[in-house]
């Protein structure tokens, strides 16, 4: 991966089995929990339930309007900050560096593990300037790693051409039946990790194909759809809410594996 050392150096944490190295010494849980703005009122309870069940990956954003609530959940969990992996996202427009600092204040932390540009700007010059702000935040120790979200090929090329620290991750919508394979390959070719959000949004969980595969593995159809992503080495952010069954299912994706034929079938749906 084409990353350059930042001026501020974080101590690397040994990777548990369920983590993937997305930048030098930065190990991200394979599955994170996020609560978009329509779930903001439940963010404290849902995040606390996730952490207490063993989920260490937390995904949020400036625009979700729930970062103070997430901070309350983190404090209530009693889990050491260094054991958690917090991802947040900032808008591309405006004073990006100031928005990064505000995110940290809302989350009551001195750094995040991954800071993303939520969407590219309307023009490539704006996107480049926003990326420079993320690079500055990385160098200052405000973010252990930096990346992008919803970036297409031209957007990714624009920030890669700047040099310095390159994106460690591109977070995009992905699910069975709705995936941009060309962008996945483009992201990987750039040395970055791909992450799926809304991994069940376009999935019919009553689909007969999913139902049969789920029955064969004694898992839920949602787990089959998520495992298809997971098994490709792609990160996942889910929204299980407070439901202990959904949380347990999301955290158990490493407990079974799909066959090559099943993977191919799901890819073709």
Q: Which of 27, 64, 111, 197 is catalytic?
A: 64
pLDDT higher than threshold 90 for residue 18 = no
- 192: tokens are 């970055």
Q: Is 64 a catalytic residue?
A: yes
The predicted-structure confidence for 25-37, as pLDDT tens digits, reads as follows 999 999 999 876 5
Residue 187 placed within a domain: yes
Residue 259 placed within a domain: no
Residue 101 sits in which domain range? 19-195
Q: Indicate which CATH number applies to the domain containing 111.
A: 3.20.20.100
What's the confidence (pLDDT) of residue 37? 53
Q: Are 26 and 6 in contact (CB under 8 A)?
A: no
Q: Are 128 and 96 in contact (CB under 8 A)?
A: no
Query: What's the chain's average pLDDT?
Result: 92
Residue 239 placed within a domain: no
Q: How confident is the model at residue 38 (pLDDT cuts 50, 70, 90)?
A: low
Residue 41 placed within a domain: yes
Residue 268 placed within a domain: no
pLDDT higher than threshold 60 for residue 168 = yes
The single-letter DSSP state of residue 232 is T
What's the confidence (pLDDT) of residue 14? 42
Residue 106 placed within a domain: yes
E strands present in the chain: 19-23, 26-29, 31-34, 57-59, 85-90, 114-117, 146-149, 169-173, 193-197, 235-238
Residue 42 placed within a domain: yes
Q: Are 86 and 60 in contact (CB under 8 A)?
A: yes
Indicate the pTM of the whole model.
0.92
What's the confidence (pLDDT) of residue 194? 98
Total of domains in the chain: 1
State the number of CA atoms in the 13 A half-sphere of 185 facing the CB: 3
Q: How confident is the model at residue 55 (pLDDT cuts 50, 70, 90)?
A: very high
Residue 226 placed within a domain: no
């Amino acid at each position: 991966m084409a990353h350059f050392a930042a001026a501020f150096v974080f101590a690397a944490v040994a990777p548990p089995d369920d983590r993937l190295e997305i930048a030098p010494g930065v190990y991200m849980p394979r599955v994170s929990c996020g609560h978009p703005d329509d779930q903001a009122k439940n963010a404290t309870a849902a995040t606390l339930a996730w952490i207490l069940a063993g989920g260490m990956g937390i995904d949020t954003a400036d625009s979700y309007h729930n970062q103070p609530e997430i901070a309350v959940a983190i404090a209530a969990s009693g889990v050491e900050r260094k054991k958690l992996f917090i991802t947040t996202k900032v808008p591309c427009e405006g004073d990006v560096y100031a928005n990064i600092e505000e995110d940290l204040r809302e989350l009551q932390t001195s750094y995040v593990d991954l800071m993303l540009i939520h969407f590219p700007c309307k023009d490539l010059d704006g996107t480049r300037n926003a990326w420079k702000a993320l690079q500055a935040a990385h160098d200052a120790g405000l973010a252990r790693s930096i990346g992008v979200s919803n970036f297409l090929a031209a957007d990714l090329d624009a920030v890669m051409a700047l040099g310095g620290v390159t994106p460690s991750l591109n977070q995009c919508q992905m699910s069975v039946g709705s995936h941009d394979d060309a962008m996945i390959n483009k992201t990987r070719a750039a040395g970055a990790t791909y992450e799926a959000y809304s991994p069940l949004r376009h999935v019919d969980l009553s689909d007969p194909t999913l139902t049969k595969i789920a029955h064969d593995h004694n898992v839920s159809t949602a787990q089959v759809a998520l495992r298809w992503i997971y098994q490709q080495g792609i990160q996942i952010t889910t929204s299980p809410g407070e439901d202990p069954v959904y949380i347990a299912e999301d955290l158990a994706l490493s407990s079974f594996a799909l066959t090559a034929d099943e993977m191919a079938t799901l890819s073709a749906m």
